[in-house]
Amino acid sequence: MSRSTQIVASHAAAHDVRDVWFAGAIIFILCIFFLPVPSVLIDVGLALSIALSVVILMVALWIAKPLEFSSFPTVLLVATLLRLSLNLATTRLILAHGSEGVTAAGYIIGGFSNLVMSGDFLIGLIVFLILITVNFLVITKGATRIAEVGARFTLDAIPGKQMAIDADLSAGLIDDKEAQSRRRELEEESAFFGSMDGASKFVRGDAIAGIIILAVNVFGGVVIGVMRHGMSIGAALDVYTKLSVGDGLVAQIPALIVSLAAGLLVSKGGTRGSAEKAILGQLGGYPRALMLAASLMFVLGVMPGLPLLPFALLGGVLAFAGYTIPKQQERASSVITSVAEVNVKEDARGALEVAPLELSFGRKASAAMATSQGELAHRISQMRRRFAREFGFVIPDIRLSDDLKLGPAAYRLKIHGASIAEKDLPLGDVLVIAADGKAPDLPYEETREPAFGMKAYRLNASHAAEAKRQGFRTIDPLSVLLTHLSEVVRGNLAMMLSYKDTRGLIERLGPEYKRLIDDICPTHISYSGLQSVLKLLLAERVSVRNLALILEAIAEIAPHARRVEQIAEHVRLRIAQQICSDVADGRMLRILRLGARWDLAFHKGLRRDAKGEPAEFDLDPHLVEQFSAEVAAAIRERLELGRRFALVASPDVRPYVRLIIERLFPAVPVLSHLEIARWSDIESLGVVS
| pLDDT band, very low/low/confident/very high, at 353 (cuts 50, 70, 90) | low
Q: What is residue 104's predicted lDDT score, i.e. its pLDDT?
A: 65
Q: Is 80 exceeded by the pLDDT of residue 476?
A: yes
Q: Is 60 exceeded by the pLDDT of residue 528?
A: yes
For residues 508-521, give the mean pLDDT: 80
Q: Is 60 exceeded by the pLDDT of residue 345?
A: no
Most confident of 63-72, 302-311, 349-358, 378-387: 378-387
Helices (H) and strands (E) in the chain, counts: 25, 14
In the 8-state DSSP scheme, what is residue 65?
A: S
| pLDDT band, very low/low/confident/very high, at 403 (cuts 50, 70, 90) | confident
For residues 382-405, give the mean pLDDT: 84
| pLDDT band, very low/low/confident/very high, at 103 (cuts 50, 70, 90) | low
**How many other CB atoms are found less than 10 A from the CB of residue 639?**
16
Q: What is residue 324's predicted lDDT score, i.e. its pLDDT?
A: 77
Q: Is 60 exceeded by the pLDDT of residue 352?
A: no
Q: Give the Cα separation of 47 and 49 in Å (integer).
A: 5
| pLDDT band, very low/low/confident/very high, at 276 (cuts 50, 70, 90) | low
646-677 pLDDT, tens per residue? 888 888 888 888 888 888 888 888 888 888 88
290-307 pLDDT, tens per residue? 777 778 778 877 877 777
Q: Give the Cα separation of 96 and 104 in Å (integer).
A: 9
In the 8-state DSSP scheme, what is residue 673?
A: G
For residues 21-32, give the mean pLDDT: 78
* Nearest residue to 453 (alpha-carbon basis) of 491, 495, 409, 419: 491
For residues 596-614, give the mean pLDDT: 79
* Nearest residue to 483 (alpha-carbon basis) of 553, 441, 425, 543: 425
416-451 core/surface letters (b: 16 or more CB in 10 A; e: else): eeeebbebbbbeebbbbebeeeeebebebeebebbb
Q: pTM for the full model? A: 0.51
For residues 591-603, give the mean pLDDT: 85
215-271 pLDDT, tens per residue? 777 777 778 777 777 777 777 777 777 777 777 777 777 877 777 777 777 666 555
Give residue 261's identity as a one-letter amino acid code: A
Q: What is residue 556's predicted lDDT score, i.e. its pLDDT?
A: 87
Strand runs (DSSP E) across 234-319, as ranges? none
| pLDDT band, very low/low/confident/very high, at 582 (cuts 50, 70, 90) | confident
Cis peptide before 522 (omega within 30 of 0): yes
| pLDDT band, very low/low/confident/very high, at 11 (cuts 50, 70, 90) | very low
Higher pLDDT, 104 or 129: 129
Residue 495 CB partners (closer than 8 Å, separation 6+): 415, 416
Exposed (0-12), middle (13-18) or buried (19+): which is 469, by Cβ within 10 Å?
exposed
Q: Is the dihedral of CA 362, 368, 371, 377 positive or negative?
A: negative
Q: Is 70 exceeded by the pLDDT of residue 350?
A: no
* Nearest residue to 91 (alpha-carbon basis) of 227, 231, 250: 250
Q: What is residue 639's predicted lDDT score, i.e. its pLDDT?
A: 79
Mean residue pLDDT of the chain comes to 77
In the 8-state DSSP scheme, what is residue 136?
A: I
For residues 144-163, give the mean pLDDT: 68
Q: Give the Cα separation of 544 and 578 in Å (integer).
A: 10
Q: Is 70 exceeded by the pLDDT of residue 154?
A: no
| pLDDT band, very low/low/confident/very high, at 488 (cuts 50, 70, 90) | confident
**How many other CB atoms are found less than 10 A from the CB of residue 506?**
16
Residue 154 CB partners (closer than 8 Å, separation 6+): 189, 190, 193, 194
Q: What is residue 7's predicted lDDT score, i.e. its pLDDT?
A: 44
Q: What is residue 9's predicted lDDT score, i.e. its pLDDT?
A: 47
Q: Give the Cα separation of 283 and 298 in Å (integer).
A: 20
161-192 pLDDT, tens per residue? 777 676 666 655 666 777 777 777 777 777 77
